[in-house]
Chains A and B, each alone.
Chain A
Amino acid sequence: MNDETTRLTSDVIRRETHASRAVPATIVAGLVILVCLYVMLEAALKALGQNPWLLGPEATAGWLGALPAGVSASVLAAAGVLIFLVGLLFFLAAILPGRRARLSIPNGRAAVVVDAEVLASSLARRARVAAGVTPEQVLVTIGRRLVDVQVRPTSGIPVNQESVQAAVEDELRRTAIDPVPEVSVAIAQSGVIGQ
């Protein structure tokens, strides 16, 4: 791979593991378009000397300027809280890092990005084979620094915690994600019957 392809590949990995914010952006654009359409209509009516459709610009400005008057205090406060929370939602969508539940696997040729769910199901498979239980008895959760494996053994058949741990760690090492998360294996105290 030449240098430019390498650089582009690392850019691609960064883009694929972070959110694009296309959905909130589209929502915001839709809201702005609706407001603009209304303002445009009222401004055009005003310019043509027609009567306002719903509320003319002067009436709107007068109502806004007089504000705590004319609206009950609780309604105003509730509307304020609502508007503030919606704004906070968009603001946080913009400034938070926006990491997606995806991991990158080092590869010599391509940018490889894996959904955390896919990796979790492959770890669950290794854990289930090592523990000798059915798929329903294993639950794997992948965080950024910790992989949490929960095994509910079949009643009467003990499960070796170390062997499950070793199997999951081996699978993680083969996957070679960076940084390597820690593995915690929890074997449930009570077993399940009828598996």
Chain B
Amino acid sequence: MNQTPRTINRILLAVFGLGLMLAGALAMALGVPAVARWWQSTAAQAGQWVSNVLDATTLPGQRDSWLWIVLALLMVLLIILMFAWVANQGKGRSGTLAYDDDDHPVPGSVTINAAVAEQALKAALSERVDLVNSAVSTYEFRGRPALKVKVFPRQGVAPYVVAEEVSALVSALDAVLGVQTPVLISISSGARSRFTRAERVR
């Protein structure tokens, strides 16, 4: 429902995991003398090449190559990208349920705040004795507003009954608002529903 970049998560996790696996496998294989000899000669060649590059990029009069500054800046860039990646996890809460600036019937724009649906549904759900708690939030999903209704029923309450009744509330909301947004009804168990007693009388 949120805008967590799931494909990017999978790709970056796979790349990072593969890198660590390769490094670990190499470290394990270095116990074999043949691999150790190959590693040392390859490392020596690579080191030679790197020091050539560093010499070639050292400006006259300077002690060290300017590539070190480039490396430090690259690291800053990478750190910024990583922070951006983390900041995108779980993003997508929105404050607008519906927006219309069509000039067709009358000019002007109409905005319905997300709090309208959230408070209406929350008030309707809080009266129910078979629910321990509920939470309603609005997300922007694929560029369109969508409602998430999370309900925590008591132990033993049949989920299909809860689903039917909550979706009836949602249909009533549709009729009131005149727009149909995608809705997620998530029936979950939390710590409170686990530890409160099952309902006996309804």
The stretch that binds B, out of A33-41, A143-151, A156-164, is: A33-41
Q: A1 at the A/B interface (Cβ < 8 Å)?
A: yes
Q: Which residues of chain B are within 8 angstroms of A28 by Cβ–Cβ distance?
A: 12-13, 16
| Given A94-B17, A105-B160, A118 and B188 contact (CB-CB distance below 8 Å) | yes
CB–CB A40/B142 < 8 A: no
**10 residue pairs from A and B, CB less than 8 Å apart:** A5-B180, A39-B75, A44-B68, A76-B28, A83-B23, A84-B24, A86-B24, A89-B17, A93-B13, A115-B188
Q: Which residues of chain A are within 8 angstroms of B182 by Cβ–Cβ distance?
A: 5, 8-9, 12, 110-111
Q: Which residues of chain A are within 8 angstroms of B90 by Cβ–Cβ distance?
A: 20, 22
Q: B50 at the A/B interface (Cβ < 8 Å)?
A: yes
What's the minimum C-beta distance from B69 to chain A, rounded to whole angstroms? Answer: 5
Among candidates A9, A86, A115, residue contacting B20 with C-beta atoms closer than 8 Å: A86
CB–CB A84/B21 < 8 A: yes
Q: A188 at the A/B interface (Cβ < 8 Å)?
A: no
CB–CB A11/B142 < 8 A: yes
Q: Which residues of chain B are within 8 angstroms of A139 by Cβ–Cβ distance?
A: none
CB–CB B184/A110 < 8 A: yes
Secondary structure of the A side of the interface? helix
Secondary structure of the B side of the interface? helix
Q: Which residues of chain B are within 8 angstroms of A83 by Cβ–Cβ distance?
A: 20-21, 23-24, 27
CB–CB A125/B156 < 8 A: yes
The stretch that binds A, out of B76-84, B93-101, B102-110, B111-119, is: B76-84
Q: A65 at the A/B interface (Cβ < 8 Å)?
A: yes
Among candidates A4, A107, A113, A121, residue contacting B155 with C-beta atoms closer than 8 Å: A121
Residue-wise, chain B 29-61 has the 8 Å CB interface mask toward A (1 for contact) of 111000010011001101100100000000000
Q: Which residues of chain A are within 8 angstroms of B193 by Cβ–Cβ distance?
A: 118
Besides A12-B146, A21-B9, A22-B4, 18 new A-B residue pairs in contact (Cβ under 8 A), listed by A number: A39-B71, A39-B75, A43-B75, A61-B50, A65-B39, A67-B36, A67-B40, A77-B27, A77-B28, A80-B30, A86-B20, A89-B17, A90-B14, A109-B167, A110-B183, A110-B185, A114-B187, A124-B156
CB–CB B13/A5 < 8 A: no
What's the minimum C-beta distance from B193 to chain A, rounded to whole angstroms? Answer: 8
CB–CB B186/A113 < 8 A: yes
- What is the interface of chain A, defined by CB distance below 8 A to chain B? 1-2, 4-5, 8-9, 11-12, 15-16, 20-22, 24-26, 28-30, 32-33, 36-37, 39-40, 43-44, 46-47, 49, 57, 61-62, 64-68, 73, 76-77, 79-95, 105, 107-115, 117-119, 121-122, 124-125, 135, 171, 174-176
The CA of A66 and the CA of B37, in the complex, are separated in Å by 10
What's the minimum C-beta distance from B88 to chain A, rounded to whole angstroms? Answer: 9
| Given A8-B146, A16-B184, A95-B14, A65 and B43 contact (CB-CB distance below 8 Å) | yes
The CA of A64 and the CA of B27, in the complex, are separated in Å by 10
CB–CB B31/A76 < 8 A: yes
| Given A22-B4, A47-B64, A32 and B13 contact (CB-CB distance below 8 Å) | no
Q: Which residues of chain A are within 8 angstroms of B75 by Cβ–Cβ distance?
A: 36-37, 39-40, 43
CB–CB A110/B71 < 8 A: no
Q: B163 at the A/B interface (Cβ < 8 Å)?
A: yes
Residue of B at shortest CB range from A61? Answer: B47
Q: Which residues of chain A are within 8 angstroms of B66 by Cβ–Cβ distance?
A: 47
